[in-house]
């Protein structure tokens, strides 16, 4: 598991740490995100059908950005603790956004006490090797958001920045 860092402009809240991992599979990838802290002190979307839905990032959500090394194209996955998901392709930085084709995405989430764990199994064509970002958005009951990532560019939290894609992933 890789530790994610809290963006410097975010207030401290009930979550003490966020970690994440990702592993390529023959069909796509598997990812896990873990929140540690007072999980009952954050907004957790209620369980729902595992369907594609936009705007998941407006509340507690986990994200993966997958970009072929040397390319400008990238794919964004949004994974909600509710089980809902979204997947978008971009031609370059925030340009050419469209729904991305996926074969299947399965999201499961469990939480108790001081821990929330989200696991995702993604069946989609993913270029290899790739530079990858693992991110988390955590909503507080007052509507405030925390942004967590492997790294951030200078300035405001910007998950679409290539600076966030600090992990190199390739199949063996």
- pTM, two decimals, is 0.95
In this prediction, residue 113 has a pLDDT band, given cuts at 50, 70 and 90, of confident
What domains sit in the chain, N to C, each tagged with a CATH number?
Answer: 2-169 (2.60.40.1190)
CB proximity list for 8: less than 8 A, separation 6 or greater: 152
Percent of the chain with pLDDT over 70: 99
CA atoms within 13 A on the CB side of 28: 18
23 pLDDT band, cuts 50/70/90, is very high
Confidence of residue 31 (pLDDT cuts 50, 70, 90): very high
DSSP letter string, 3-72 = EEEE-TTSPP-SEEEEEEEEEE-SSEEEEEEEEEE-GGGSB-PPP----B-S-GGGSSEEEEEEEETT-S
Residue of 50, 39, 1, 48 lying closest to 22 (CA atoms): 1
What is residue 68's predicted lDDT score, i.e. its pLDDT?
96
pLDDT beyond 80 at 172 = no
pLDDT at 12: 86
User: Rounded distance, CA 29 to CA 105, Å?
Assistant: 10
């Amino acid at each position: 598991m890789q530790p994610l860092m809290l963006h410097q402009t975010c207030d401290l809240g009930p979550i003490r740490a966020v970690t994440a991992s990702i592993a390529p599979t023959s069909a796509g990838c598997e990812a896990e995100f873990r929140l540690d802290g007072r999980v009952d002190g954050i907004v957790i979307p209620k369980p729902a059908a595992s369907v594609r839905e936009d705007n998941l990032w407006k509340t507690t959500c986990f994200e993966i950005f997958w970009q072929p090394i040397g390319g400008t194209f990238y794919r964004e996955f949004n994974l909600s603790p509710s089980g809902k998901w979204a997947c978008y392709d971009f031609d370059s930085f925030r340009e050419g956004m469209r729904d991305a084709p996926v074969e299947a995405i399965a999201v499961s989430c469990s939480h108790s006490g001081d821990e929330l764990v989200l696991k995702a199994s993604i069946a989609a064509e993913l270029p290899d090797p790739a530079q990858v970002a693992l991110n988390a958005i955590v909503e507080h009951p007052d509507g405030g958001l925390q942004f967590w990532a492997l790294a951030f560019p200078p300035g405001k939290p910007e998950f679409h920045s290539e600076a966030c894609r600090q992990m190199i992933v390739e199949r063996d």
